[in-house]
Amino acid sequence: LSKEELSINTPVVITCNEQRREVSAAQNIANKQIDRTFVFDKVFGPKSKQQDVFNHAVVPLVGEVLDGYNCTIFAYGQTGTGKTYTMEGGGGKTQDGELPSDAGVIPRAVKRIFDILEAQSAEYSMKVSFLELYNEELTDLLAPDESKFSDDKSKKPMALMEDGKGGVFVRGLEEEVVSSASEIYKILERGSGKRKTAETLLNKQSSRSHSIFSITIHIKECTPEGEEMIKCGKLNLVDLAGSENISRSGARDGRAREAGEINKSLLTLGRVINTLVEHSGHIPYRR
Ligand SMILES: Nc1ncnc2c1ncn2[C@@H]1O[C@H](COP(=O)(O)OP(=O)(O)O)[C@@H](O)[C@H]1O
Ligand SMILES: [Mg+2]
């Protein structure tokens, strides 16, 4: 609970059992105590540190990315549940190249990638992009500000295209070539700063938008036969919109539904993941 919540004696309704991988929610409805328990693949209790989450959930994926695979990590949950804290961190400053203990998944993944590549004296190139999806419109969080006074240029919507190889890309998206971890921390700060500015301009935008930080790595390798080969891996780190914005039925009375209140892409993502988990035929990627 936050300090504020503690000061007004907010009751604790969530309990975690890390061993049994369970989370229980206590509910009191009409004086009836109804507890519900959910089982997960892994539960991080309230004492968990950023480092624990990173080591367990992210380190294996960083290895796969360096082996040339594409991996995506999503933070999902209601607004205020700690998605941005988990992905970006608590705002602590990097000192002498050491990350603060509250650093999130993104800076930790970046540091680990560079540490591994440096240790291998690998020949590589790396680029990053940072974009936001709000109301089905894409915004480049790394685009240079063309004008300080007009917000619409740097936030012009971009088109999502297929690359013909089974992948997608965003036309005109700024991809910055980076050669050190500290460069990426600066870029991350710039991008998330932009997200926050937009938030004050456009009430609560960040709770309704997804942000996607992508790291693309090309590594040069030599096969045993002495042939040169380029391995390409990509890591997508996604801070999803608040899950309070999805409505399964989509049916609501009245026409005055606020823009973005029903987040189509989040709803579709849920459906896609469900069909993938259930192995049930058609996967609605294109909805
Ligand atoms: N594990 C944590 N430890 C300490 N503070 C946290 C933690 N997770 C979230 N917070 C704090 O709670 C508040 C809401 O978290 P935030 O990451 O902004 O939520 P979300 O992005 O899901 O809306 C922030 O002030 C954040 O610093
Ligand atoms: Mg957030």
- pTM of structure: 0.84
81: annotated binding-site residue? yes
How far is the C-alpha of 79 from the C-alpha of 156, rounded, in Å?
26
DSSP string, 40-75: -S----TT--HHHHIIIIIHHHHHHHHTT-EEEEEE
What is the 196 CA–ligand 2 centroid distance (Å)?
A: 10
Comparing 163 with 63, which gets the higher pLDDT?
Answer: 63
Please, which residues have CB within 8 angstroms of residue 210's CB and are 6 or more apart in sequence? 132, 133, 134, 238, 239, 240, 241, 265, 266
Residue with token string 């240079």: 144
- C-beta 206 within 6 A of ligand 1: no
191: annotated binding-site residue? no
User: For 79-136, how does the pLDDT look when each residue is reduced to its tens digit (9 = 90+)?
Assistant: 888 999 999 998 888 777 789 999 999 999 999 999 999 998 889 999 999 998 887 7
- C-beta 50 within 6 A of ligand 1: no
What is the 83 CA–ligand 1 centroid distance (Å)?
A: 7
82: annotated binding-site residue? yes
The one-letter code for the residue type at 164 is G
Which atom of ligand 1 lies closest to the CA of 87? 17
Query: What is the average per-residue pLDDT within 280-286?
Result: 77
What is the model's pLDDT at position 147?
47
Does 251 score more than 60 pLDDT? no
Nearest-ligand number for the alpha carbon of 83: 1
Closest to 178 in 3D by CA, of 221, 222, 213, 145? 213
How far is the C-alpha of 172 from the C-alpha of 160, rounded, in Å?
10
User: What value does the mean pLDDT of the chain take?
Assistant: 83
Nearest-ligand number for the alpha carbon of 104: 1
Comparing 49 with 143, which gets the higher pLDDT?
Answer: 49
What is the model's pLDDT at position 8?
93
User: How sure is the predictor about 167, in pLDDT bands with cuts at 50, 70 and 90?
Assistant: confident
Query: Which of 59-68, 133-142, 225-234 shows the lowest per-residue confidence on average (mean pLDDT)?
Result: 133-142
Q: What tokens does 60 get? A: 């294996």
Q: Phi first, then psi: what are they for 5, rounded to 5°?
A: -65, -40
